[in-house]
Structure 1
């Protein structure tokens, strides 16, 4: 179990860094809506990561019962690595140029009036259905499944993975509790910086993780 956790942590940290749009949404929610709305979004995000990871673990475990996993686990890592590199290139090419304002998703604009139930659903869907996030979750779950065949150890490792991957998304709520009245100014400044550099940060994170998975997968084949 320890090996599964340690090997999946770099991907979890990468997902935490790549979740910049979700961090921005969490920041908007905690500064403009009741605190419970932001907490619902974070809860949905964590739940989405765990649900997506559980599906991947189940599929990998079923396949492992029927065949020796050595070659296909390496092939899966290699494929996910290539996908992450492609996503990194697309993110870098779509970054705003000098003088251009970054384009924000439509659901960011809806944050001002978002309810608790909608925030929960949106957090879940963004974690479990977004291609970039799903690729990273699949990579982490595959690493966990490859590290240990014991289901209870896989579950614990997956929960740790999801919590670590959610650290940045949950950070605005922690900042609000810690800084109280001065939190809005700090969060606004952080949100502005993340908005401006979001594409470059995500491209760099995806590229590093993609190259690491390609190397790991190639070594396994």
Structure 2
């Protein structure tokens, strides 16, 4: 007689679902170790425990999804408020003020810095038009999605002024107008994991699109 392996028993039971109907009394005679130690329990009890554990896992997953949904709703509302403000802004100074105000107060981003490549003639020297290295401009051109991570190697930490030594993570978002890159916005945080490589960037991309459109409109009026 050939040896019978556990896999053979499992396959047999899966292929003969009526087995326990024919041998119903067998279920009361089979005892298994309790999954958390202690006394042995019947097959029916073990199945019940398994179902309870699956239900708890499903409830935890549902609670997690609800939390994510609520967080996304809150972020969407904040983006909407920023969009409404930017649409109403009529000057460059108003746009810059709105960006800083909403990102700091609504999104709790403590440090925001903006650089635009081309300064319109006759416009006073503002930090937003400070010189940016060619390497950084090329990097911004190649950004398919916002960069999130360390400030090392970019030279953008200096944009945050006296807080530069304390910045541990940043997000860099390219600003574009008609496909061409017109600048870069940097968001900084003292928290090392506030902006990290694996984080989702959908809302950062939306932010870049909103700011780009607003800046393109008001800087055009400055020419």
| TM category, shorter | under 0.3
Which structure: greater strand fraction? 2
Which structure carries more relative contact order (alpha carbon 8 Å, separation 6+)? 1
Structure number with the higher helix fraction is 1
TM-score (norm 1): 0.26
Larger radius of gyration: 2
